[in-house]
Structure 1
C-alpha cells in the first residue's frame, strides 16, 4: 500500500480534496478558470523588494542553457561554470547548499549542490519564468538561504485549462560557438470541461565550444571536452475545478557532457589525512580504513600522498599553461552520463473553510544517477619502460566508457501549505515539509585495490546515508497604510543515519592489537541528529507611490550537509582531494539588507546593500597543494560578507531605455581555529660534545632525585602542545566587481534591439591558506640542537590565483509578429562580441576559458 508513511497523509488529503473540489454542495459551473498561471515562490505577489526578480521564460530562449550561466547577467548573480554541461548560480558570494534551487516551488531533488560539475536537474529552456527571491520568504523553502532562492517554474502540471482546445509553444535555436542545436516545446490540451494534459520536451546537442585561443601544447581555438547532449521529456495531467486543481507529472532527463581539464596524473594517486594510530595511547581505530568519515581531529595526520606521479613538477596555471600539465586532446576526455527521473503531484483547494484562502499540497519523488566515465587515456611517467606503457595502454583501453565514479540519490519531498486571509490587511501561511534524500558516491574498483575483507578501503567517497528533515514554517504579512511588515520562521529537525556494512566492520573488530592484545576501538555509529531555527522580518515602506524602502533582518541556522560532513577522497572533475569533517557544528548567520526601489515615468531604480555575518561558517580550506592538485578539508570560522548591487534606468520614451547596473561583494574569514600538533618537550639534561664525558664524573651536573633520594636524569620540560595560528584571510573564490551599461530600443511596432557592455574587474583580493606538514630531518636539526622534541609541524603558503578583468559586449535584435492565432519571435543575439578571453575567478576551474564570440539565432512560436 503506502510504503512511505510520510506520504500517506498528504496523499489522502489530496484524494479527499478531489471530492471537495467536485462536490461542494452545488453543481460545478460549466466554465472553469483558464490561463497560464504558474506556481510562484513569492506567495503574496505585489509587494516586492528591490532585490526580488522575476524573469520571463522568453528571455532564456537565447541565453545559455545551464542554470548558472543563464542567470549570470542578473545583478548579484554570477555563475560557477563547468565546461558546457553544468553551471550553478553564485549569489552574493554564496553557492551550493546556501542557494536553494526549486522547481515549481518544490525542492529539486538532485546532487547539484554536491559539486559544480553536477548539472541542475531543471531546465531554463522549458521555464515559463524564473524567480529570484531574497529575504523573509526564503524561509518557506530553506533554513539558510538569505542570499537567495531560485524557483524555476514551468507548466508540467497545468493549474488551469487552456484557452480554447490547446495552447503551447515551441523554440528552435542555433549558435556558432558550440554549433549548438536546441529544440524545445510544449503543448497543453483541454479534455472536456475539467481535464488538461501537458506534454513538453527538449533536445539539445552542442559540440566543444570555440574560444579565442587556448595553449595545450599547441594553440587550439576550441575547448576540449566542453560538449553537451540533453534530452528531456515530461507528461502531466490535471483535473481543474471551480475551487482548485489536482495534477501529476512524470519527467525523464538524460545528460551527457564532458569534463574539461582532467589531469590523468591523478588517476594512480591517493591521499591520506588520518592515521588509525594517531594517538599511541588509544587502541587503533582500524574502522577508519573502511569508513574514514568517522575520523575526528584526534585522528588527523595531515595530508600525505601515496603513489605520487610528479604533480610537483607541473607548471603553474597560467594563460600559457591553462591546465598546468600536458593535456592529451587527441581524443575526447572523461565525460558524465546523468539520468534523472521525477514524479510530481500538486494541488490547490481554494476557500475550503472560512478564513482559509487555500490549501496547497505538493509531493515529489526523484531518482538521480550520475557516472563519470573513463576516457581510455592514461599517464606515463618520463622514462617508463615499454612493457609498462603497453600494459597501461591495454588497461586504459579496457576501461574506456566504464564508470570511474558513481553518484546515486533517491529522494522524496512532501509539503503542505495553509494560506489564510483573516482581513484585507492581513494574510499569511503556515505549513510543514518532510524530505528524505538517500545518497552515496563511490569510486569504481580497479586492479590494484586491496583484496579480501578490506577491499572497500578508501573507495567510498560518500557513504550510503539518508538525510531526513522535517520542517515547520510560517510567513505572515500585515499592512497598515503605506507600511507592510512580513515576519517568518522555520524550524527544522534533521536525522542523518549512515547505512553501514556491519559485516565489514565486524571483520575489523575481531583483529587484535599485537602489542597489548586488546580489541581495536569500536566506532560510534549513532545517527547524527540536530535542530535548527531561523527567523526573519521585513519592513516595506511605500514613501510615495513611486518609492519603496525595504529593510530585512534575519537569523539563519544551517545544519551541515552530508557532503561537508562525510565526503572523503578523490574528486576527479576538479582535480582535487576533498575531505569532510564530521565534527562540524551548526552554522549560524545574522543577515541585514536595505533596499530602495523607484518606478516612475522616466526613471526606475533598484538598489540593495547587505551584510551577512556568520558564526561557524563552513568552507573548504586548501590544506595542501602539490603542483596543481589541491587537497581541501571543510573547517569552520567566523565570516563576514558585505555587498552592494543595483541598477538605474532612464526612459527616453516608453520604447527607449538606458540602464546602468553593477554589483560588488567582499568576503572575509576570521577567527579560524589554530592547528594543533603534538606536545612539545625541552630536554633539561645538559649535553656535551666530548665523547668521553660522563655526567656521573661531573660533581656540578644538575641531577634530579627520586623519592628515595637517588640521582636520576631530570624529566623533559613540557612546553605544551604545538599550535599554529591560522591568520585572517579573504574568503575563497569571491566573484569580482562588475559595472555595466545597457541600451534597449523598440521601434516600428515589431522590432527591438539591445546593446549591453559589462566591465568585469580583476579580482586581486584572493584567499591565502597554509599547507601544514611535518618537518624534514634537516628542518628538525635546529630543534634537536635546542633539545626540543615534538615541534614537528611547519607551514608553507598556498595562495589562490588572481584573475584578470575583461570587457563583455553583447548585442541583440528581435522581431515579433502575430499571424493568425500564433505569436512568432525571431531573435539574433551576439555574446562576447569583442571575442575576449574570459576566465571566471569563482569557478572551480578558473583556468578553463569561457566561450568566445557567439552568435545565437532563435525562432519562438506560441499559440
Structure 2
C-alpha cells in the first residue's frame, strides 16, 4: 500500500516593458513538498520524500538585428531521500552502533539560457544554448549506539574515553567515501531551421548537442529497489570487471548529438507530421542486468548502472483526415532502434514499434474518441533479456463539457482502457512478467478548468 501526500505552491508574475530593451519579463517560482510511504500491512518498509524550491526568470528582449529571443536564469534546490532504505520497520537493535536513518541527497542547480529566433521570408531560424552547474551532496545520517553499560566499558578499554567520537568519525569517513559529493557542468546547444513551402507544407531540420548529468539514483543506488524487484548499484560504486567502474562519477556526463528531420502539412482536410531522428550518445547511462536469482520463486535482479556509448534511430508520425467539421480520423505510429556501440548488443528495455488509429467526433458540448493501437513484438533485445509479445489496446472516451464563463468550464467524462481485456506485457518495465498492464478498466471523472 502507498500512503502519499503532496503539497505544492506556485508563484507566477508577468510584466510588460519592465526594463529598458525588454518587452516582457516572466517570473516563476514553486515549492513542492512530497512524501510517500510504502507499507505492507502495518509494517513501514520505505519512505520517500522530495522537497524542491525552484525559481526561474525569463526576459524577452526587443528585436535586435531582426532576432527575437529570451534570456533567463533558473535556480533549483532539492532534497530527496528514500533510496537504499527499505527496512524502516526494523528497529535499531540493542548492542549495536552506527549511522541510523535514510540519508538526504541535496541537489543544487543553477542554469542560464538563451533562445533566439528570426524569420528570413519563408525560412525560420532558431537557436538555443544553456549552461548548468549542478552539485549533489549526501547528508550523513545521525550516529547512535545502544551498547549498554558492560559493552561501553569494554569500548573504553579498547578506544579510550572518546570511543564514541572515534567510532563515529570512522563511520562518517566510510560513508563519505561511499557517497561522495558529485559536481557536473552540463552544456547544451541547438540550432534548427524550418522552411515553409506554402499551402501548409513545411520541412524542418535541427541539430542539437545535449549534456545530461546522471540523477541521484543513477549515481548513489546501493540497495534493494522494491519497485523494480532488484538490487541496484549506482555509478559511484566500484564493481570489479565492469566497464567504467571505479571511474569518478564526475567524469561521466551523458552527451548526445542529435539530428531531427520533420515534415508537416497543417492546412486542408489532410494533415500529417512525420519525424525522423538519429542520436549518437556518449556515456549513455542505463541499468545493466548482471544476474537474476529465483530462489524464492520470484525473480530478483542484480542491476548495475553503467555508462556506455550508444546510438538511437527512429521514426514517429501521424496522418489525419478531417471527414467533416465535427469528425476526424488519424493514423499514428512510432519505432526506435537502439544499439550499444562499444559491444555487439542491443540496449535493454527499448519500446517496440507501435501502430494505431483514432476516430474523434464532437457535437456541441458532447465529444468522444475511439482509439485502437497495436504494439508489436519486441525481438531486438539485449543478450540478457527475453522477447516480449505484442498486444492490442482498444480505448474509448466520452465527455460532456459545460462552459461556465470565459476560461472556466466543467467537463464530465467516462474513459475505458484496454476494453479488449488483453494480457499485455510492457517491454520497458523491469518487472514486465510480474506486473502486466491493467485489464479492462473504466474511469468516471470530472475536470474543472479555471
Determine if the TM-score, normalized by the shorter chain, exceeds 0.5: yes
The answer as to whether partners of 1:546 and 1:598 remain within 8 angstroms in 2 is: yes
- Partner of 1:565, secondary structure, is helix
Greater length-normalized contact order (CA 8 Å, ≥ 6 residues apart): 1
2:140 corresponds in structure 1 to: 500
Q: CA deviation at 1:530?
A: 2.5
> 2:365 & 2:170 partners in 1: Cα distance?
79
The answer as to whether partners of 2:99 and 2:142 remain within 8 angstroms in 1 is: no
Q: For 1:754-765, what aligned pairs fall within 5 Å after superposition?
A: 754-765=369-380
- Partner of 2:374, secondary structure, is strand
Match of 1:644 among 315, 326, 332: 315
Q: For 1:95-106, what aligned pairs fall within 5 Å after superposition?
A: none
2:73 corresponds in structure 1 to: 432
Match of 1:846 among 429, 432, 435: 432
1:778 corresponds in structure 2 to: none
In the alignment, is residue 741 of structure 1 matched against residue 357 of structure 2?
Answer: yes
Match of 2:16 among 350, 370, 373: 350
Q: CA deviation at 1:497?
A: 2.2
2:282 corresponds in structure 1 to: 615
> 1:453 & 1:367 partners in 2: Cα distance?
32
1:421 corresponds in structure 2 to: 62
Match of 1:593 among 243, 248, 260: 260
1:168 corresponds in structure 2 to: none
CA-atom RMSD in angstroms: 3.1
Alpha-carbon distance change, 757 to 452 in structure 1, aligned in 2, over 3 angstroms: same
In the alignment, is residue 625 of structure 1 matched against residue 265 of structure 2?
Answer: no
- Partner of 1:497, secondary structure, is strand
> 2:402 & 2:54 partners in 1: Cα distance?
42
- Partner of 2:97, secondary structure, is helix
- Partner of 1:803, secondary structure, is coil
1:88 corresponds in structure 2 to: none
1:830 corresponds in structure 2 to: 416
1:411 corresponds in structure 2 to: 52
Q: CA deviation at 1:759?
A: 1.2
Compare CA radii of gyration and give the structure with the larger one. 1
- Partner of 1:843, secondary structure, is coil
Alpha-carbon distance change, 360 to 455 in structure 1, aligned in 2, over 3 angstroms: closer
- Partner of 2:186, secondary structure, is strand
Q: For 1:503-652, what aligned pairs fall within 5 Å after superposition?
A: 506-507=166-167, 523=177, 527-582=181-236, 583-584=248-249, 585-627=252-294, 628-652=299-323
- Partner of 2:185, secondary structure, is strand
In the alignment, is residue 340 of structure 1 matched against residue 11 of structure 2?
Answer: no
Q: CA deviation at 1:735?
A: 1.1
- Partner of 2:337, secondary structure, is strand
| Equivalent residue pairs, number | 407
Cα-to-partner distance string for 1:594-630 (whole Å, 9 max, x where unaligned): 1011022221101101112110111111112111100
1:488 corresponds in structure 2 to: 128
> 2:278 & 2:421 partners in 1: Cα distance?
35
1:477 corresponds in structure 2 to: 117
In the alignment, is residue 452 of structure 1 matched against residue 106 of structure 2?
Answer: no
2:395 corresponds in structure 1 to: 810
> 2:232 & 2:36 partners in 1: Cα distance?
19
Q: For 1:2-13, what aligned pairs fall within 5 Å after superposition?
A: none
Q: For 1:388-403, what aligned pairs fall within 5 Å after superposition?
A: 400=42, 402-403=43-44
Q: Any stretches of 5+ residues in structure 2 without a counterpart?
A: 145-164, 237-247
> 1:808 & 1:578 partners in 2: Cα distance?
33
Q: CA deviation at 1:469?
A: 1.0
Alpha-carbon distance change, 445 to 451 in structure 1, aligned in 2, over 3 angstroms: farther
Q: CA deviation at 1:525?
A: 7.8
In the alignment, is residue 767 of structure 1 matched against residue 377 of structure 2?
Answer: no
1:800 corresponds in structure 2 to: 385
The answer as to whether partners of 1:360 and 1:417 remain within 8 angstroms in 2 is: yes
Q: CA deviation at 1:667?
A: 1.4
The answer as to whether partners of 2:210 and 2:256 remain within 8 angstroms in 1 is: yes
Q: CA deviation at 1:425?
A: 4.4
Match of 2:107 among 457, 467, 471: 467
Alpha-carbon distance change, 411 to 832 in structure 1, aligned in 2, over 3 angstroms: closer
Q: CA deviation at 1:357?
A: 1.4
> 2:263 & 2:134 partners in 1: Cα distance?
37
> 2:94 & 2:218 partners in 1: Cα distance?
27
Q: CA deviation at 1:752?
A: 4.3
Q: CA deviation at 1:750?
A: 5.5
The answer as to whether partners of 1:449 and 1:455 remain within 8 angstroms in 2 is: no
Q: CA deviation at 1:815?
A: 5.1
Q: CA deviation at 1:828?
A: 4.3
- Partner of 2:301, secondary structure, is strand
> 1:406 & 1:829 partners in 2: Cα distance?
32
In the alignment, is residue 730 of structure 1 matched against residue 346 of structure 2?
Answer: yes
Q: CA deviation at 1:636?
A: 0.7
> 1:450 & 1:618 partners in 2: Cα distance?
41
> 1:520 & 1:489 partners in 2: Cα distance?
40
The answer as to whether partners of 1:547 and 1:597 remain within 8 angstroms in 2 is: yes
> 1:839 & 1:533 partners in 2: Cα distance?
37
Alpha-carbon distance change, 844 to 522 in structure 1, aligned in 2, over 3 angstroms: closer
Cα-to-partner distance string for 1:513-538 (whole Å, 9 max, x where unaligned): xxxxxx99994986322211111112
The answer as to whether partners of 1:440 and 1:464 remain within 8 angstroms in 2 is: yes
The answer as to whether partners of 2:335 and 2:352 remain within 8 angstroms in 1 is: yes
The answer as to whether partners of 2:315 and 2:335 remain within 8 angstroms in 1 is: yes
Cα-to-partner distance string for 1:254-290 (whole Å, 9 max, x where unaligned): xxxxxxxxxxxxxxxxxxxxxxxxxxxxxxxxxxxxx
- Partner of 2:217, secondary structure, is helix
> 2:80 & 2:166 partners in 1: Cα distance?
24
Cα-to-partner distance string for 1:803-840 (whole Å, 9 max, x where unaligned): 11112223344556779999675544433232222222
